[in-house]
Amino acid sequence: MLPVLLIQENGTAGLLAIVPGLAVGILILLVCTFWRNRCEETSFPQSLQMLLGKPAGMVTTFLFLLLYLLFAVFCLSSFVEVVHTGILKETPRILLLLPVFLLAGWLAWNGLEDIARFTVLAAVLAVLLLFLTVTGSIGSFQMKNLLPLQIHSPEKLIQSIGYSSFSYSMFLVMFMVYPALPQKKGIAWQMPLAAALSAALFLLWVLLALGVFGQFSMEQLIWLPLELARMIQVSAFLERTEALFIAIWLPVVLANSGLLLWAASEAAHQLLHRQKSRWLHWGMVAIAAVFSIAIGNLLQLFYLEQALAAIIAGFVPLLLLAILAATLLYSRKKAGRKGGQPS
Amino acid sequence: MKKLILQQPGRIASSSGSVPDVPVSGVLNQDMEWLKQHYVRCSDLIYRHITIGGHQHRQAAVFYFDGMTDSSVVHDNILQPLLLDAEIAENDAETEENFRNFFEYLKERLLPAGEITVADDLKQGAQAMMNGDVLLIIDGCRQAIVIDAKGFPQRPVGKAENEVVLRGPQEAFTEAMRINTALIRRHLRTNQLKLEEKTLGRYTRTQVAIVYLDGVANENIIAEVHRRLDNIKDVDSILDSSCIEQYIEDSPFSVFPQMQYTERPDKVASSLLEGRVALVVDGSPDVILLPLMFVQLLQSPEDYYTRLAPGTFMRWIRYMGLLIAILFPSLYVAVTSYHPEMLPLNLLLSIAAAREGVPFPAFVEALIMELCFELLREASIRLPGAIGNTIGIVGALVIGDAAVSAHLVAPQMVIVVAITAIGSFTVPSMEASYPIRLLRFPLMLLAAGFGLYGVALGVMAILLHLVHLRSFGFPYLEPLAPLKLNEMRDVLIRAPRWQMMVRPQFREPYRKNTGILERGFWQRRVQPLKQKGDDSRGEQ
């Protein structure tokens, strides 16, 4: 499940803003599947060099690597910020940050197979979380909050679209995951299915939040899981359970950030043509951790989110189109070469 | 008369098939001297120079260890036939053919022992003596006869003490490997039950049997077991099955066991039927089962001897017990220290009132009580039976009560520790209880430092480790991760026996289907695959 937790000033237009994000996510998955079917024999960095030329391919790979790292930084930093803000206000932020980076780095180091297995466990918890949240906040849910689409200003709408696109752009990690999957039929369709499930869960979360808070209140919120957790009340016995629910978010965050760190590490290894290197992997994790520590507060995190959203909105669609076009050309050349071979 | 030494073994085949280190010379005095020197200062070595059938040209010597052999077998089945019953003609000519016939006569007709082998290597014969056999050296013969007369003292088959069930077989393994393999064979009366033996340990020469069902167990696992055991042939000693485990497990530094122990023959039989491999070690009453999945540590044989509902219920009680045993103290520390707002008001006030006057923070309280409990548990194991039980009960009650009265700990903490202990006792496997006891403390520390977030971090670290752990190459958390839905019927619930007709897939068994079953209202036909020379009972 996509763990984008920061939603400040992104509730404008509610349902309308969700649609572009979904479209971006679907586009990424389609391009990725198309590319993989046409370029089965290579990894993503090699494929980029083949499709776009060596210099452009290497630069693009590096940009992807940076994106993965920044996504991981954002994912972990925002989670730690939730914990720091909502639960452990007096604990130094660095003490909260370092353990999650260690765990995410360890998960990434163990490889894709372990990430997949861990994600299965995390998915069970994510569904449980959703179920408990729905059950606990169903009393506050109102259908009418979902319906009106009031657009406050074009700038806020654009901002919301950017945020929504950013939420689903984490699917870019599929470009690294697909080539690493075993060439079995069952696996090939399980990946997009898993991605679709993740997107659906995230969508349900956003819809639930919209239904509970409404568009106007959502604009004022900062941390979606925290706010939803605060709404949960089961009779007079179970309430103020945000600490428990935030803790249960950890496996979801770890699974996603572990995958992002793995993708970044794998991209770095393939870019530098290195075998699995402890130093390279943990060096990158350390860089990500240092960058996270440098993001000292919520405001800087918010700026990072806005910067990433802007990059995603401007860069990713163009990149996807470039990959699509190059893949088409490549597959036509390949088909032409096969047709021209003597029998 | 010139003494004849049988030069060629002739029709008598060597049992080892290899070049002997110390060949039997055929000169009786020389061989006797070698054996006496080999076992110099061994006061339990017994040897006797005899004349077979009173015939002066048929000299021999018998060697054995006192206490290792059955003296009635030695006297009645070896010495008496050799001394009194041997029929040798007085004028039996000293020819090679006569001598060879005499040897055959000894081996095939005179000695009524159950198992007789020949050895052309004195060292091999000496080793056989260490196993409780009797060595017969004959003057003029380059081979010795090894006669089965094992009679070392052993514990009788008793009740399982560590894996108690209310319903089902009660017998348990003993230290004698042959008795243990017989107990297994009583459950699996098929020629597919294979026992391959190895000898490990330079000084202990411990016999280890690799037991599996041919055609059911994964051949790769069997080969891997052989490979790992062959790698430890040169160690000094194998005193118990746990020594083998420590040598051949995948992750020696993990707190989680990667092999399972059992003292129950029925559990071994059911595990073999699932495709696992068992290691039976001479001198150890615990049989190793491998590979191991984590969920198997929470399964008891009794689950399968009861009906669906109670079996499932007991299983879920155990899952709850496991979670309580690991998490309850840390959750208590986290909630009372960091998140008291989570508690209902009345409960919060009750806890606050009870903790008034207690000088320690919740973490220190929990640590003190848990350590006291571990001390009591360890002490009660070491003390003899009645005293140990008494100490356990008195210690728990008196110390707990005294600590509360002295305001050292809150009453709730005593309840937390007691429930935690009870939860840990629900786990059927002893080897699973150790990681629970160990992991409780770091989780409490994390709870003291970071509250529920710290507990979550600790649990995630444990999960990450478990996800990465392998047992003979197989994922430890299977069928949870990777998720195998059709195997979850024996995890989430204890499915009815007539539904568990497919062996666990992760062991890639060669025969997935287990037979034909009819239940009247529910019928499922599966086609068993052709098996080589199978004469197992009950299979169609």
Determine whether the interchain pair B481/A121 forms a contact, defined as Cβ–Cβ distance below 8 Å: yes
Please determine, for residue A13, whether its predicted confidence score (pLDDT) is greater than 90. Answer: no
- Whole-number Å distance between alpha carbons of A80 and A96: 6
pLDDT tens, position by position, B291-318: 999 989 988 888 888 888 888 898 899 9
Per cent of chain B over pLDDT 70 is 85
A121–B contact, CB cutoff 8 A: yes
Q: Provide the mean pLDDT of chain B.
A: 82
Residues on chain B touching A247 (C-beta within 8 angstroms): 452-453, 455-456
Mean pLDDT over B180-187 rounds to 91
Collect all residues of chain B within an 8 Å Cβ-Cβ radius of residue A256. Answer: none
- Residue B479: asked if its preceding bond is cis (omega within 30°), the reply is yes
As separate numbers, helices (DSSP H) first and strands (DSSP E) second, chain B gives 17, 14
Is residue B423 within 8 A of residue B328, CB to CB? The reply is yes
Interface contacts (A, B; CB < 8 Å):
77
How many angstroms separate the CA of residue B202 from the nearest CA in chain A? 38
In chain A, what residues touch B344 (CB-CB under 8 Å)? 236-237
Return the structure tokens found at B512: 């997935």
All residues of chain A having their beta carbon less than 8 Å from the beta carbon of residue B457 are: 99-100, 103, 250
Q: Rounded mean pLDDT of B343-363?
A: 87
Cross-chain residue pair A117–B457, CB shorter than 8 Å: no
Residue B170 has pLDDT above 90, yes or no: no
A110/B467 CB distance under 8 A: yes
| pLDDT (0 to 100) of residue A175 | 85
- Find out whether B496 and B308 touch, Cβ atoms under 8 Å: yes
**Residue A282's pLDDT band (cuts 50, 70, 90):** very high
Instruction: Catalogue the E-assigned strands of B383-484.
Output: 470-471, 474-475
Tell me if chain B has a CB within 8 Å of the CB of A91.
yes
Q: pLDDT for B194-241, tens place per residue?
A: 999 999 988 888 999 999 998 888 888 898 899 999 888 778 888 999
| Beta-bridge partners for A234 | A238
ipTM, 2 decimals?
A: 0.88
Selected residue of A101, A110, A113, A118 to mutate for chain B interface (largest B Cβ count, 10 A): A118
The 10s digit of each residue's pLDDT in B69-78 is: 888 889 888 8
Helix (H) or strand (E) holding B196: strand B193-200
Substitution target in B453, B466, B470, B505 with the highest count of A β-carbons within 10 Å is B453
Average pLDDT over residues B109-115: 82
User: What CA–CA distance (Å, rounded) separates B437 from B434?
Assistant: 5
Contact A146, A14 (CB under 8 A): yes
State residue A4's pLDDT score. Answer: 55
Inspect the interface and report whether the beta carbons of B463 and A251 lie closer than 8 Å.
yes
User: Where is average pLDDT lowest: A218-222, B159-163, B239-243, B413-417?
Assistant: A218-222
pLDDT in tens, A221-266: 677 777 777 777 666 666 777 788 888 888 888 988 999 999 999 9
Distance CA A24, CA A141 (A): 28
Those residues of chain B whose CB sits closer than 8 Å to some CB in chain A are 338-339, 341-342, 344, 450-453, 455-457, 460-461, 463-464, 467-468, 475, 477, 480-483
Share of residues in chain A with pLDDT > 90 (%): 14
Judge: B342–A254 Cβ closer than 8 Å, yes or no. no
pLDDT tens profile B513-533: 444 444 444 444 444 444 444
How far is the C-alpha of B156 from the C-alpha of B175, rounded, in Å? 9
pLDDT at A7 over 70: no
For residues A172-186, give the mean pLDDT. Answer: 74
pTM for this structure?
Answer: 0.83
Give per-residue pLDDT as tens, B254-301. 999 999 999 999 999 999 988 899 999 999 999 999 999 998 998 888
Quick check: B467 and A121 CB within 8 A?
yes
Residues of chain B found within 8 Å of residue A237, distances taken between Cβ atoms: 344
Does A100 contact B at CB distance below 8 Å? Answer: yes
- In chain A the beta strands, taken as DSSP E runs, fall at 233-234, 238-239
Find out whether A26 and A235 touch, Cβ atoms under 8 Å: no
Which of A280, A328, A285 is CA-nearest to residue A39?
Answer: A328
* Residues 185-244 (A) with a CB less than 8 A from some CB of B: 236-237, 239-241, 243-244
Q: Which amino acid is at A159?
A: Q
Nearest to B475 among A99, A117, A248 (CB): A117
Nearest in space to A117 (alpha carbons), one of B40, B294, B144, B2: B294
pLDDT at A106: 95
Q: What is the DSSP letter of B287?
A: E
Closest Cα partner for B472 from B152, B133, B220?
B220
Cβ pair A118:B339 closer than 8 A = no
So where are chain A's domains? 14-330
Residue A26 three-state SS: helix
Domain A14-330 - what CATH class? mainly alpha
Assess contact for A207 and A11: CB atoms under 8 A.
no
- Dist CA B120 CA B21 (whole Å): 9
Sort strands B59-65 and A238-239 into parallel, antiparallel or unpaired: unpaired
pLDDT at B416: 92
pLDDT at B452 over 50: yes
DSSP-based three-state secondary structure for B523: strand
Q: Are B240 and B286 in contact (CB under 8 A)?
A: yes
**Which pLDDT value is given to residue B16?**
45
CA–CA gap between residue B493 and residue B501 (Å, rounded): 15
- pLDDT for A205: 76
The residue whose two tokens read 């098939």 is B17
A181/B contact by beta carbon, under 8 A = no
Q: How far apart are CA B335 and CA A110, in angstroms?
A: 33
